[in-house]
Structures are given as C-alpha cells and as structure tokens.
Amino acid sequence: MMEFIINPISEIAEVSVGKHYYWQLGDYQVHGQVLMTSWVVLGIIFTLAFLGNSSLKQTPDGLQNFTELVTEFIRDLAKTQIGDEYLKWVPFLGTLFLFILVSNWSGALLPWALIELPSGELAAPTNDINTTVALALLTSISYFYAGIRKKGLGYFKRYVQPAAFLLPINVLEDFTKPLSLSFRLFGNILADELVVGVLVALVPLFVPIPIMLLGVFTSAIQALVFATLAGAYIGEALEDHH
C-alpha cells in the first residue's frame, strides 16, 4: 500500500517542463542552465550595488542616485504593505523584487538563445517553474515565520476566524498562495518569451521590437506584483485580529 502511494508521488516529482541542461551532483540532477543564468543575474545586481555604493556622497549623483531611488521605492512598498514593522522586511522584499526584475529583464533583453548548450537552452531564471516555486515557498515560509514570531502558536487562531467552520477554507488559502504566486510569474514570463521567439522566427526585423519593449514593461510589473503580494501576505500575518 505504501509503495503504491510513494510511486505516483515520485513520478509527479520527476515531471519536467521543457528541455534542460542537467548537472549531476552526486545522486541528484539539477538544472544547470538555471543556475548559470541565476549567477549572471546575481552578478549584475552585485555589480550595480557595488558601483552605486562603493563611494557614497552626501549629495548622491549618478549610479548612487539610482540605487538610493530603488531602495526608497522598496522601503515605500514594504511600508505600504506591512505597516509599522516594515523595516526588518525591506531586505527580503528588496531581494525578491530585484532578483525577479533583473531575471525577467535578462530574458527580455539578453540574447540567451545565441549560446548553445549540449541540451536545452538558456533563458531567464524565472522561465523555469522550479525557480518561481522556490521564490513562492520562501514567501510562504516568511509569512509563517512573521506570524509565529509575533504571536506564537496563537497565530494559528486565524484559521478559525471569524468562524470555526471556515478552517478548511483558510487552510486551503495558505496552500493556494504559493501556487498562484509561482504559476502567475512562470506563466507570464514563459508566454512572453515564446511570443517573442515565434515573432523573431516569422518576422525577424522590426515587428518583434514593440513586443520586446512591451515584455520589458510587463516583466517589471510581474516583479512588482510578486513583491507586493509577498509584502501583503507578511503584513496579513503580522496584523492583529480582534
């Protein structure tokens, strides 16, 4: 009986979306192309942060002005969604927003397809379902951590409020949050790259350019939506229910 249950679960876990370039690490296979593009994205973020903050000035200019503008934007976002306890969550929301934004833009602007791999192809890290699910699970862990740290086990009273019969619905809601976050981001980025790829193949000159510019805009919106929802979930977990 147990073997009957475990086998279908293991088969589901092996389901893969698209072709991948696998790295063998011991007994495990990992998506090498996702790790490579993720390192590029992290390198871009680190370089911009280093150049913008290596020689700080009292009156910011140039790249320092840009990095401070981004920091202020993220602080305002966190304050709006979380409230008085927002400061400690600025690094987390900022990391989510910047990683997703630069990842999405890398897929829209960098010619990953020109780099050939033995199998699979390079694309934005957020073009892989594993990346978006990991980001969504980090968000779920964060708002559970926020609520339990502030309220202890009393945090779980929220599942029976405002009435006990809502327990199944409230539990289901916490399961659907990471699903909606991950599939929304993955679906939008994948669809955008597929549309651009088809247009480039059919009409390789000027027609794809407006679509690519629209992709840059929608990529930024997707990063903002993800970070905003993450902040809203954390704020909800910290909220006092009466």
Any idea what DSSP says for residue 27?
Answer: T
pLDDT the model gives residue 229? 93
Asked if residue 14 is part of any domain, the answer here is no
Query: Global pTM?
Result: 0.83
pLDDT the model gives residue 10? 46
Asked if residue 13 is part of any domain, the answer here is no
pLDDT in tens, the chain (242 residues): 444 444 544 444 454 555 677 788 888 888 788 888 999 999 999 999 898 888 877 777 778 888 889 999 999 999 999 988 899 999 999 999 999 999 998 887 877 777 777 777 788 899 888 899 999 999 999 999 998 988 888 888 877 777 777 788 878 888 888 888 888 888 888 777 776 666 666 666 665 677 677 778 888 899 999 999 999 999 988 886 54
Give the 3-state secondary structure of residue 84: coil
Q: Residue 78: give the domain boundaries.
A: 22-238
Residue count of the chain, please give it. 242
CB neighbours of 203 closer than 8 A, spacing ≥ 6? none
Asked if residue 17 is part of any domain, the answer here is no
> Residue 148 region, left (φ>0) first, then alpha (ψ -120 to 50), else beta?
alpha
Other C-beta atoms closer than 10 Å to the C-beta of 23 total 13
Other C-beta atoms closer than 10 Å to the C-beta of 168 total 9
Task: Determine which helix (DSSP H) or strand (DSSP E) holds 149, and give its type and residue range.
Answer: helix 129-151
Q: Nearest CA to 193 among 113, 102, 98?
A: 113
Asked if residue 9 is part of any domain, the answer here is no
Asked if residue 215 is part of any domain, the answer here is yes
Asked if residue 106 is part of any domain, the answer here is yes
CB neighbours of 70 closer than 8 A, spacing ≥ 6? 98
Distances from the Cα of 109 to the Cαs of 106, 121, 174, 190, 239, in angstroms?
5, 16, 35, 14, 40
Q: What type of residue is 52?
A: G
Other C-beta atoms closer than 10 Å to the C-beta of 132 total 26
Give the 3-state secondary structure of residue 28: strand
Asked if residue 16 is part of any domain, the answer here is no
pLDDT the model gives residue 233? 92
Structure tokens, 140:
């779920």
Q: How many domains does the chain have?
A: 1
Asked if residue 70 is part of any domain, the answer here is yes
Hunting for tokens 């779920």 — which residue is that? 140
Q: Nearest CA to 186 among 226, 217, 228, 213?
A: 226
Cβ distance 125 to 132 under 8 Å? Answer: no
